[in-house]
Amino acid sequence: MVNKINKINKIIKRKNKSKIVCLTAYSKNIAEVIDNHTDIVLVGDSLGSVLYNYNTTRKVNLKMMIEHTKSVKAGIKKSLLVIDLPYNTYRNKFEALKNSKKAIKETKCDAVKIEGGTNVSNIVSHLVNNKVPVLGHIGITPQTVKGKFKSKGKTEKEKKKLIQDALALERSGAFGIVLECVYSDISKQITNLIKIPTIGIGASVHCDGQVLVTDDVLGLTNAKIRFVKKYVNIKRLINSAVLKFKQEVKSGKYPTKKYSY
């Protein structure tokens, strides 16, 4: 618990000092590599679309999230480990606390992330009062989005709502807020307004940190989203390794004596 609180306090203190690096992970092998460079590792319910090919994150359940988070935990040494509470697991404060406690107990993760602003502020307060650290998530909230994903904060009404949501989460005790697909000017305004860090995804350089889906960063997905920067094309590397394996198997070059008993 003390270690968890220390990690969270360190992250909060980074505001206005140095940027917070956050990436998703769904399994141990990736977690092990990214943990060297991340402050926060998020087991996002994006795993529904990225790994399971679901058309909505609503199909992800708590059991799946727990199993993936256990795997990720095995690869984490230093980053703060956050689990997404999936859809329909925090419909009221009692359900949220029961499921958060179960997730934390079974996975040994440090915190939960839930989507929503003023509508979940009583849930956030209840979790925080019961020693469950919470990362908020506003802007596009995929669990409840209706229709197409559209950036938020263009109209005055949307701007006002985002500010109200951010303030409500801060007041409720969230230790940070993910801003997803939020226009730059409003991300900047929110980041300057609140004392907890903002972590942007498609929300401009003005946020206190950035998060991306690791599979997008590595080029494992076919994501063509404006904010996604592919830092490597891993699919190409996998393809050439597998091609070489195939050729060596067919020609009898593999396995040589070195690889045999």
Q: Catalytic residue positions? A: 180
Token couple for 261 = 């008993």
If the CB atoms of residues 21 and 213 are measured against ligand KIV, the closer one turns out to be 213
When computed from its CA atoms, the radius of gyration of the chain, rounded to whole angstroms, is 20
Binding ligand KIV by CB under 6 A: which of 11, 25, 34, 44? 44
Token couple for 10 = 């360190």
Min dist. Cβ of residue 22 to ligand KIV (A): 8
* Residue 40 interacts with ligand KIV (CB under 6 A): yes or no: no
* Residue 46 interacts with ligand KIV (CB under 6 A): yes or no: yes
Encoded amino acid at 204, one letter: S
* Residue 84 interacts with ligand KIV (CB under 6 A): yes or no: yes
Binding ligand KIV by CB under 6 A: which of 21, 66, 104, 178? 178
Residue nearest to ligand KIV (CB): 44
If the CB atoms of residues 173 and 176 are measured against ligand KIV, the closer one turns out to be 176
CA dist list (Å): 124 to 69, 79, 118, 164, 215: 21, 22, 10, 15, 29
Min dist. Cβ of residue 113 to ligand KIV (A): 7
Count CB-CB contacts under 10 A for residue 144: 12
| Cα–Cα distance, 117 to 139 (Å, whole number) | 9
Q: Which residues pair with 83 in a beta bridge?
A: 43, 112
* Residue 215 interacts with ligand KIV (CB under 6 A): yes or no: no
* Residue 201 interacts with ligand KIV (CB under 6 A): yes or no: yes
Binding ligand KIV by CB under 6 A: which of 81, 166, 174, 213? 213
Question: Considering all CA atoms of the chain, what is the largest pairwise distance in Å, rounded to the nearest integer?
Answer: 71
| Cα–Cα distance, 94 to 224 (Å, whole number) | 39
Q: If binding means CB under 6 A, how many residues of this protein chain bind ligand KIV?
A: 11
197 DSSP 8-state letter: P
Which residues in this chain contact ligand KIV in the complex, by CB under 6 A?
A: 24, 42, 44-46, 84, 178, 180, 201, 211, 213
